[in-house]
Amino acid sequence: MDCWKKLCPTHIYAFNSNGVRRDGNSTKISPILKSDHYNVNHTNDEGDFAVAEHKIPGGSLIVQEYPYVFQIHDTHRKRVCPGCLSSLDGIKPPTTCRQSSCNWKLGYCSSRCETRHWFSVHMYVCPFREYFARNQHLLLAFQMWIRFITAQERMASKISATTKPVTTDVLRLNTLVDNLDQHSEADLQRYKQDAVFLSQLFSFSVYDTKDLVEQLVRYQAVIRCNGFGIQRRMTANHSSRRDSEDRPVLDVKMDTVATSIYILASKFNHSCQPNVLALFIGTQLQLRAIRPILPGQPLYISYGPLAANSPLLKRQEQLLEHYFFECHCQACQVVPDPRLPPTIDQIYRCPHCKYNRVCSMAPACPQCENSIDWNNIRRVERTIRMHQDGEEWDKVLELQLGIYHNKALLVGKTYDQLALQRYMSHRLLDACQYCEQSVQIVRFVYGESSPEAAEEMYKFCGIAIES
């Protein structure tokens, strides 16, 4: 059970040519966008945020969107198609760039993808790999500029042909917040140096580059605040580990293969215990409800940190450093919500009354008010780590259930290890039982329709079929 999570979206300001947004009282809400499931409202304190229009059942599709731009990570260029992000595993040989002198060493799943990628961005940068390989965000910012100016031209031609207003992604792109006033001086200087270099590199372009530096500085800041990491299941063959039929064991994990900009999805605010999750199908992003959501409730996604597997202080530091805000979601409050999965800071059981949401280092149980012996709990945790190092997972589970909430993610990981251990020793029925326990915890923590739950169910089904 891998504790991965997938998103890095952001707050955005809404572009409003009709004056819908109003300054003044920060609690005044202005409607920005309306869809079948949600409205996007605005306050001066929170910026733009999505709110449920009506009751949304768990698992419902809320947003379905293709990226405005995306850029494959350099480390995956030999395994993932840069045109559609499909896996190149099993494609031999993949299609290569039309220029024999190209040193990007890109592989494409088809000539169609190569053509699309060539005309969208690669024809501009094919000779310049050494300049872009070290700065993927600069290349993504350059793509944003290319798409912006070409879309502007199309929009201008439409406006000249009709008196009706034209709504395009060009206007929506202008709404993405950059937080330039909060980036460090060193970062701003780096953005500018890269932008100046790029403007000089493309000074021969047919496009007017006089505004390119300013736009590229802003786009690099926008990417930092609005970039989504696109996830893929990646496999690795470990020939030293064999299954019950002496076949190599394939390790499957989720990995971030590209960075992208999804304009509509960027209107969703962050929570460390989100009620909406992101799924990637190809390059398409789907946002689905994790659990039932009532009308008027805000819709939250995670920008990366999750309360289930990241301590409070670490989450706050990460969000402040990368997104420039302090999180005040329910998971970051002192009093836990018993309806939600336990955070990693609130997984301890009271040894007196068995209340199972005691916060780490709390002096007393909030239910029975007896004091907590944290020195003893830390001794137990050290013993747990010792047994983990020795892969004595039965002892680990016994000790964990004595001090942790039985639905804590740490316990689920131990069930997962026990399932693997029993599977490798051909005790398939036991493996099924432990894997089922792991599935239940993952569904409780991440949601029944989450990719984490799907991964665990995939494992469970495989073991069940063999047994």
Residue 3 has pLDDT above 60, yes or no: no
DSSP string, 208-260: --TTHHHHHHHHHHHHHHHEEEEEEEEEEEEEEEE-TTSPEEEEEEEEEEEEE
Confidence (pLDDT) at 99 = 94
Is-contact 301 332, C-beta < 8 A?
Answer: no
- CA dihedral of 94, 99, 102, 108, whole degrees rounded to 10: -20
Note if the pTM is more than 0.75: no
Residue environment code for 91-118, b if the CB has 16+ CB neighbours within 10 A, otherwise e = eeebbebeeeeeebebbbbeeebbebbb
- Position 161 confidence tier, pLDDT thresholds 50, 70, 90: low
- Position 287 confidence tier, pLDDT thresholds 50, 70, 90: very high
Residue 77 has pLDDT above 70, yes or no: yes
Within 13 Å of residue 66, how many CA atoms lie on the same side as its CB? 4
- Position 402 confidence tier, pLDDT thresholds 50, 70, 90: very high
- Position 309 confidence tier, pLDDT thresholds 50, 70, 90: confident
Which has more confidence, 332 or 276?
276
Q: Report helix angle 136-161 to 212-226, nearest 10.
A: 110
Residue 200 has pLDDT above 60, yes or no: yes
Chain-centroid distance, C-alpha 334: 26
Alpha helical stretches, state H, 279-427: 312-323, 374-389, 393-403, 409-424
Cα-Cα end-to-end distance for the chain: 20
**What are 324-338's pLDDT values in tens digits?**
888 888 888 766 666
Alpha helical stretches, state H, 36-184: 111-117, 123-125, 129-132, 136-161, 169-173
Within 13 Å of residue 86, how many CA atoms lie on the same side as its CB? 12
Asked which of 46-50, 165-169, 244-248, 363-367 is least confident by mean pLDDT, the reply is: 165-169
Which has more confidence, 118 or 199?
118
Give the CA angle between residues 231, 315, 140 to the nearest 5°.
Answer: 40
- Position 341 confidence tier, pLDDT thresholds 50, 70, 90: confident
Which has more confidence, 168 or 100?
100
Tokens for 337, please give them.
């919500």
As a whole number, the mean pLDDT across the chain is: 81
Confidence (pLDDT) at 12 = 25
Confidence (pLDDT) at 29 = 38
Residue 4 has pLDDT above 50, yes or no: no
Count CB-CB contacts under 10 A for residue 411. 20
Block residue for tokens 């350059």: 142
Q: Report helix angle 393-403 to 409-424, nearest 10.
A: 160
- 239-242 CB contacts, 8 Å cutoff, 24+ apart: 241/424
Chain-centroid distance, C-alpha 126: 29
Confidence (pLDDT) at 59 = 85
Tokens for 72, please give them.
């494959």
Would you state the CATH architecture of domain 1-66+262-338?
Answer: Beta Complex (2.170)
Is-contact 49 325, C-beta < 8 A?
Answer: no
Tokens for 42, please give them.
């605005």
**What are 32-53's pLDDT values in tens digits?**
444 678 888 888 777 788 999 9
Closest CA to 188 of 175, 176, 179: 179
Residue 7 has pLDDT above 60, yes or no: no
Domain boundaries, the chain: 1-66+262-338, 68-229
Which has more confidence, 308 or 384?
384
Question: Which strand (E) or helix (H) includes residue 301?
Answer: strand 300-301
**What are 114-140's pLDDT values in tens digits?**
999 999 899 989 998 888 877 888 999
Q: Tell me the C-alpha distance between 331 and 114, whole Å.
A: 45
Q: Tell me the C-alpha distance between 407 and 410, whole Å.
A: 8
Which has more confidence, 304 or 398?
398
Q: Tell me the C-alpha distance between 292 and 286, whole Å.
A: 17
| Number of residues assigned to the chain | 467
| Residues contacting residue 66 through CB under 8 Å, at least 6 positions apart | 283, 284, 285
Burial of 46 (0-12, 13-18, 19+ CB in 10 A): middle
What average pLDDT does this structure show over 414-422?
Answer: 93
Residue 73 has pLDDT above 60, yes or no: yes
Tokens for 140, please give them.
């993504």
Phi first, then psi, for residue 50 (nearest 5°) are -85, 140
Confidence (pLDDT) at 98 = 95
Residue 447 has pLDDT above 80, yes or no: no
Tokens for 442, please give them.
């993952």
Q: Tell me the C-alpha distance between 87 and 380, whole Å.
A: 44
- Position 450 confidence tier, pLDDT thresholds 50, 70, 90: confident
What average pLDDT does this structure show over 310-336?
Answer: 82
Is-contact 399 389, C-beta < 8 A?
Answer: no
**Residues above pLDDT 70, as percent of the chain:** 82
Confidence (pLDDT) at 237 = 56
Q: Tell me the C-alpha distance between 333 and 331, whole Å.
A: 6
**What are 343-356's pLDDT values in tens digits?**
777 889 998 988 88
Chain-centroid distance, C-alpha 324: 17
Confidence (pLDDT) at 244 = 54
What is the identity of the amino acid at 122?
Answer: H
Q: Tell me the C-alpha distance between 153 and 108, whole Å.
A: 29
**What are 427-436's pLDDT values in tens digits?**
999 999 999 9
Closest CA to 178 of 225, 231, 213: 225
